[in-house]
């Protein structure tokens, strides 16, 4: 396995109330990606994904598309140093 990476994303658009967080949680668990996802007060969704580079990239791509019912306007993405997170949490 490649060294783990960490990405923080903030997803803007119609992304709350469309099962965005649960869709990401299920995909993260299926791919063995750790981290968390949360609704923000400004209507965006923020997430941290940590794990295998290919698996993390797949989660970031899911955020760019969004689940059915979402309308993603933009995604802010930045790299961070991995913290060794385990599990995935919906906050």
- Return the active site residues: 21, 39
Tokens of 2: 């490649």
Is residue 29 within 8 A of residue 36, CB to CB? The reply is no
User: In angstroms, what CA-CA distances link 13 with 3, 33, 66, 74?
Assistant: 32, 24, 10, 7
Is residue 89 within 8 A of residue 29, CB to CB? The reply is no
């Amino acid at each position: 396995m490649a060294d783990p990476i960490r990405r923080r994303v903030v997803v803007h658009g119609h992304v709350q109330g469309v099962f965005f967080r649960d869709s990401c949680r299920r995909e993260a668990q299926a791919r063995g990606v750790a981290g968390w996802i949360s609704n923000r007060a400004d209507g965006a969704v923020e997430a941290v994904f940590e794990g295998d580079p290919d698996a993390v990239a797949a989660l970031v791509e899911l955020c760019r598309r969004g689940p059915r019912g979402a309308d993603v306007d933009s995604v802010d993405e930045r790299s961070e140093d991995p913290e060794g997170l385990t599990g995935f949490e919906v906050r």
